[in-house]
Structure 1
Amino acid sequence: MLAIKTLAPKSVIFRRTVRLMGDQFEISVVGNNPDWADERIDDAIAEINRVEKLLSTFSDDSAVNEINRNAGISPIKTTAEIFRLINRSLEISALTFGAFDVTYYTAEKDTTDPDNTTKVAVKKSLSRVNYQSVVLDAKEQTVFLKEKGMRIGFGTNSRGYAADRAKYILQMQGVSSGVINAGGDLLAWGLQPNNEPWTIATADPSQKAHSFANVNISNMSVATSVNTQKYTAAISNKQLNTINPKKGFPVSGIKSVSIISPSAELADSMATPVMSMGINAGLYLINKLNQLACIIVDDHDRVYTSKDISLTN
């Protein structure tokens, strides 16, 4: 009897684009079953929606709003997930000397002071925006904001955290290879169907059609911050009007900073601080850290890279 050998279906990339967390996400998984791939992408979307709801400041009953409402009043016991996220955020704040900070200040308008909404309010807000005024109690799992009017928000790192969580859910469901594009920031793992690593083409933000190198990002994440004071319409990924948090004016000298890290949350958190620190200080900081790399493009189109990063033309 003649044995007939059947070939397994060839793996391909299944993609879906959806608007999540106020931005465009594209979720890609490698597999050979369309129904299975659709279910896995549904799982990732559900997890991203969960993270958005968890970190929302628009819902009155959210844990973050509970912390904010009790600023200057009392510590609030929170979930282990939020506690760990705040703790990591404070560690990054300390690492960047406050260039990254999830705290801010909401000044109440004083109708008896006509200057309150300008000079006085700005002065107060700058003086009270301080990550060091967040008190964590690991034993009780409480968070306390020392100053009344202080707030915490995760607008700068929530998408990265959501991407990390979605990747975790996908891997737990057996997705061995995929890419999550969170508004231009990428998180990739595994290999492409042709067994080649995932790569991205890096470019000058003002000439995005002309790349200067390819970067291997398999099992890594890359987040890019752009100085949109000059290049608002130049590229399609994350566009920030970058402000130096200590001096209060736009950063100059750098067009873009791309951070490469195993964690999307960390990459997301570090991109803007490195830009505000400047080329030399930013590279010095990244070079001291393990498993972090960066690519910087300055106003004169010169490219700077941290140590051990390999660019291939």
Structure 2
Amino acid sequence: MSKNWKIILIFYILILSITEGKTQVQRHRTTTLMGCRFDFTIIAEDSLQAEKYIDQAIDEVVRIDNLISDWKSESQISKVNQNAGIRPVKVDREVLELTRRAIYVSEITHGAFDISFAAIDKIWKFDGSMKHVPSPNQIKKSIKKIGYKNIILDTINSTIFLKLPGMKIGFGSIGKGYAADKAKEVLAYKKVKAGIINASGDISVWGSRLNRENWKIGIVNPFIPSDIIGAFSLKEECVTTSGSYEKFVELEGKRYSHIIDPRTGYPVKGILSVSVVGPKTEMANGFSTSIMVLGTQKGIELINHFPDYGCLIITDEGELIKSKNFNTKIELYDSEIKPTSKS
């Protein structure tokens, strides 16, 4: 190649790089969806197009919420709950399949995860109003309408039937994760090459930041929730975190988590935080919730059966425990996490 052609080629590559740099913009928007905070950050060709993409992602989350919200009386899931013990209700195939996957997680966790948890009588209060620990009889009664085995799916007619009157299902545990996954699908279809969707801690990322580095997701110190103790480095993954460190009550010298074991009605203990990394936010959320309930040993045993997913557990003693398949790069700012008091 002649010297002139080399100069032209170098000039062309330089111009192309500059053009690519100029046409890549990052836009962020925060809004309230599904009753919680959603953050959308995407990288696109220009600002106007980026805003349109975020609008489309928000529309997808709203669409899903209108299908599965148990707070909206006209949603398909509300119709299912209203007809508990009465008749099956026809739902969209999408809703049926989401319910089927939730039942699958219930099965593999032996009920540590259960979407019929929505039927619990809320005898545990975490707003400062509760002064005494509920009695064993109250706790036993509170869970009597919980039981995923009483959810009957008809895949031929696309119906859901709840066998017990008063039974309810809800997607508070995996619904946000599913919405994040679907919003990401919409943006990927639109050829958005990079972004991050944060559905109140259920996070889906793809591509790279403007500086071509991986996305960084902070790790909260469960003993001092205002502190960040480190960061996950993610590129084409999802991460969800379940924790008992922000919502709890202290009664009679003991601390009780807001995360309740649906099998017993009692708050979980032993683990303060579980972060799960994997390809789908929905499934990662199911795992993180389940591991909080199952405890460290059984939780690790569960997730080790799924090689695409890994978890990081922080115990109430400040111990960090990784599952066998946890290969995510972590940058820790502190060498150890110390409990501020006995949890």
* Residue number in structure 2 paired with 1:288: 305
User: 1:16-55 residue pairs with structure 2 within 5 A?
Assistant: 16-55=29-68
Give distance in 1, aligned partners of 2:42 and 2:97: 28
Structure 2 contact 140–265 (Cα < 8 Å) conserved: no
The structural deviation recorded for 1:59 is 3.3
Q: CA 1:267 to 1:312, structure 2 compared with 1: closer, same or farther past 3 Å?
A: closer
1:243–1:124 Cα change, 3 Å: closer
Instruction: Check the 8 A contact 1:206/1:231 in 2, yes or no.
Output: no
Structure 2 residue 236 is matched with structure 1 residue 219? yes
TM-score, with structure 1 as normaliser: 0.86
1:255 aligns with 2:272: yes
Deviations 1:88-139 (A, max 9, x none): 11001101111111114377xxxxxxxxx98777544423310001111111
Structure 1 alignment gaps of length 5 or more = 108-116, 233-239
Q: 1:190 is matched with which residue?
A: 207
The secondary structure found in structure 1 opposite 2:143 is helix
SS in 1 for 2:267: coil
CA shift digits 1:233-259 (9 cap, x unpaired): xxxxxxx71122222222221111111
Contact 1:259 1:294 in 2 (8 A): yes
In 2, distance between residues paired with 1:120 and 1:247? 11
Identity of aligned residues (%): 34
Shift of residue 290 of structure 1? Answer: 2.5
Question: Which of 57, 62, 67 is the matching residue for 2:80?
Answer: 67
Say whether 1:228 aligns with 2:241. Answer: no
1:16 and 1:121, CA in 2 relative to 1: closer, same or farther beyond 3 A? same
Tell me the secondary structure at the aligned position of residue 242 of structure 1: coil
State how far apart, in whole Å, the 2-side matches of 1:179 and 1:106 are: 34
Structure 1 counterpart SS, 2:144: helix
Distance 1:229 1:210, change over 3 A: closer
User: In structure 2, the residue corresponding to 1:150 is in which secondary structure?
Assistant: coil
Q: Measured at CA, do residues 256 and 35 of structure 1 come closer, stay the same or move farther in structure 2, by a change above 3 Å?
A: same
In 1, Cα distance between equivalents of 2:190 and 2:103: 32
2:299 and 2:221 map into 1 onto residues whose CA distance is: 18
Matching residue within 270, 281, 294 for 1:277: 294
Tell me how many residue pairs correspond in the alignment.
296
Closer, same or farther: CA 47–174 of 1 in aligned 2, 3 Å: same
Whether the 8 Å contact between 1:201 and 1:215 is mirrored in structure 2 is yes
1:1-313 pair list within 5 angstroms: 7-8=18-19, 9-104=22-117, 105=119, 122-207=139-224, 212-228=229-245, 241-310=258-327, 311-313=329-331
Question: Are the counterparts in 1 of residues 225 and 246 from structure 2 also a CA contact under 8 Å?
Answer: no
Contact 1:229 1:242 in 2 (8 A): no
Name the SS of the counterpart of 1:152 in structure 2. Answer: coil
SS in 1 for 2:223: helix
